Amino acid sequence: MSLARFSVYRPVTVLMGMLAVLVLGVISWSQLKMDLLPDITFPVIAVVTVYPGVGPQEVEEYVTKPIEDQCGLVKNLKHLSSVSQEGVSVVLEEFEWGTDMDFASFDTREKVDQVIDQLPDDAHRPYIVKYDPSTIMPVMTLNVTGMDDQQALRKFTEDVIKRELEKVNGVAAVDVYGGLEREIQVLVDHGRLAAYGLSVQQIEQAIKAENLNIPGGHIELGQREFTVRTLGEFRRPEEIEHITVAVKDGIPIRLRDVATVHDTHKEIRQYSRLNTKPAVTLVVRKESEANAVELARAMRKAVADLNQRLPGQVRVTVSWASADYIERALHNMYGVAEEGALLAVVIIFLFLSSLRSTLVIATSIPLSIMATAILMRFNDMTLNVVTMGGLTLAIGRIVDDSIVVLENIFRHVEEGEAPVRAAVRGAGEVGVAIIAATLTTVCVFFPIALVGGLVGEIFTPMSITVTVALMSSLAVALTVIPMVSARLLRPSGERRPSHPLLRPVDQALQAWERAYRRLEHAYGTAIAWCLRNRALVLGLAGGIFLFSLSLTRIVGAAFFPHTDRGEFTLSLRMPVGSNVEQTNQAALFIERTMVAVPEIELVTSTVGESAGGMSTTSVREASFQVRLKPRRQRIRSTDDVIKELRDKFSKLPGAEISFQTGMSRGGDAPIIITIYG
């Protein structure tokens, strides 16, 4: 029994199948996570070791080289490189695409553990990171303002706000920048120290020995038990001054006799501002399995709840979120897909001139898309610009098979056959043809899934999406369309006269039909002329083809299309030897200049030393996250704003300025050259 015959004579079974696909599809679609691009696993592992306060040469000699020697023994290693800079060593291992990165990470850990004992005592334990841009790059930046006392603001941010935000599901880390960090300084008077015959090491040991809580076991009193502890940790700076450093001739020497204690803040090595005003910046990074869009929504809700409970003028502002652009991009893709589906239905209605036939064809679009959504959900795929692009591309092709089947069924009905028999015969006659046509199209897209490397990682989801959508449309054309046609189609002679309110529509369709017939006649005339002038037509076609090939050099090529994201990042690097104050003055000039630009809405700056992810910055570097106003509220594009700023900042003496918009670094610069070492 053919599929068409089965579907026509088993309508309840087919309807139940349709209902199951629609219900599961709607549930699956609602559960699909949103992202900008498909999940990409890069075959790169980084071994990061922090060695604070040490120059690049010493980091390379005592940390990087020993780790490199061991990492070179890791299996399936393709390329090994390293970066040694002040206070940090990064060794990068690159593997072939398709390598099991879990095993590679385990192998790397095993090799690095063998060299830990050879590293300097002050060097931190190396940590191994699988390179994942989604977890290394921040997903949100927040700024805390509202206190004049920057030390109190920093402490409040770390003790209250940071802890609240870290509770949000999916947050891996919240890094804090800016403000002033509290520090208790013991300033030794070397003259008095020498007079008492003491050393700085003795003072250090005395402070460590006194600043302890010592457990003392437990005691029992009757039927009750008590834990015993000796509380010695300092609670106030004044307590430090009273500790005994040494005893000379039976006389105790107090710390206050040889030093003074100051409750102050650490040396300023970084600044953080929001629109030129001091602020504490929070940078949020997500877990590897978390979704950026869902996390951003949860974070915004947490920030809104937090702002209602914060004291005084303290407020948390979301200055940047990667999910904003993702949602805008996907919203645009949704609109394009909806417009494409609507236009397809309208065109079908115009050419078939039948509401019943149009409804029959239109059923193939939601059924095919919902079937694709089910597969995407159970394969942990995401809704992103690639998969949505595949669905949008497939919408125009989804209805083709159904149109062919319906047209042949309608022909049999017009010839006088019963609708049920016409549905079986009509679908059976064109079944092989539409299967061949669909498989031909599938053969164009499916091989993309077999491509290796980064291109395969990005475009395989699109290949799978298009393939499943087309195969689903084929199944719909061979089952659902015959079943529905057998019950909805009727010969034109049996059609009821239209309702008076629909007569204008009928008249418009008749006018369209007359215009189409004239176009069809003109097309026939053109075809006849082409057949009489075959050589000329073939020559013109060949010439146009060759000319189009020459245009490829003019059009150019890019891995990702350039878009106006409404945001960009500016990086500043001052000359070698610049201190944090010099960098801060240049950063202030840049901030004030950008805030004065009418298209710019927010400027978040981080100046000086910072560390996060796999990178660190020095005191001669600064980073600025800039958010522009919505596109409808500004005249100029992001590139126009960047061009103006580049001209203004080109006069900064010795400063290196670079821009990053989305995934392309350097703004409109065609080539970027970076020199290391």
Give residue 85's pLDDT.
83
Model confidence over 28-64: pLDDT tens digits?
A: 988 888 887 787 778 899 998 988 878 888 999 999 9
pLDDT tens sequence across 406-417: 888 888 888 888
If pLDDT is split at 50, 70 and 90, which confidence band does 677 have? low
Statement to judge: residues 209 and 229 lie in one domain = yes
> What is the reported pLDDT for 632?
86
Considering only residues 214 and 648, tell me which one the structure prediction assigns the higher pLDDT: 648
Taking only the tens place, the pLDDT of each residue in 383-394 is 888 888 888 888
Neighbouring C-beta atoms of residue 370, cutoff 10 Å:
21
Average pLDDT of the residues in 507-513:
79
Classify residue 636: in a domain, yes or no. yes
CATH number of the structural domain spanning residue 522 = 1.20.1640
pLDDT at 332: 81
Residues 502 and 398 in one domain: yes
pLDDT of residue 665: 46
Distances (CA, A) of 636 to 249, 406, 630: 80, 50, 11
Q: What is the pLDDT of residues 187-212, one digit of tens each?
A: 998 888 888 888 888 888 888 888 88
pLDDT at 595 over 90: yes
Say which residues have a Cβ less than 8 Å from residue 34's Cβ, sequence separation at least 6: 291, 293, 294, 326, 327, 330, 382, 383, 384
Provide the pLDDT for residue 495.
53
Tell me: do 571 and 546 sit in the same domain: no
Residues 624, 536, single domain; the answer is no
- Domain stops at, among 207, 232, 265: 265
* 537 and 424 share one domain: yes
Query: The domain containing residue 242 runs over which residues?
Result: 183-265
In a shared domain, residues 482 and 538: yes
Q: What does the pLDDT look like over 401-448, one tens digit per residue?
A: 888 898 888 888 888 888 888 888 988 899 899 999 999 989 988 888
**Quick check: 361 pLDDT over 50?**
yes
- Per-residue confidence band for 570, with pLDDT thresholds at 50, 70 and 90: very high
Average pLDDT over residues 627-646: 90
Residues 594 and 534 in one domain: no
pLDDT above 70 covers a percentage of the chain that reads 93
Q: Identify the pLDDT of residue 670.
A: 59
The residue among 455 and 295 whose pLDDT is bigger is 295
CA distance 50 to 561: 37
| 440 lies in some domain | yes
pLDDT at 23 over 90: yes
Q: Is pLDDT above 50 for 668?
A: no
- Cβ atoms of 509 and 353 within 8 Å: the answer is yes
Percent with pLDDT over 90 in the chain: 26
Residue 663 is predicted with a pLDDT of 53
Q: Would residue 399 count as lying in a domain?
A: yes
E-strand spans in 518-633? 567-573, 600-608, 610-612, 615-617, 621-628
DSSP, collapsed to helix, strand or coil, labels residue 347 as: helix
Per DSSP, 575 falls in state: P
pLDDT at 615: 55
- Whether 369 is in a domain gets the answer no
388 and 511 belong to one structural domain: yes
Please tell me which residue, 364 or 542, carries the higher pLDDT value. 542
Q: Does residue 176 or residue 516 have the better pLDDT?
A: 176
Checking if the pLDDT of 617 tops 50, the result is yes
> Do 448 and 504 fall into the same domain?
yes
Can you tell me the distance from the alpha carbon of 508 to that of 44, in angstroms, rounded to the nearest whole number? 62
| 277 closest CA partner among 602, 625, 608 | 602
Among 517, 532, 555, give the residue marking a domain's end.
Answer: 555
- pLDDT tens per residue, range 538-551: 999 999 999 888 88
Whether 345 is covered by a domain: the verdict is: no
Mean pLDDT of the chain: 85
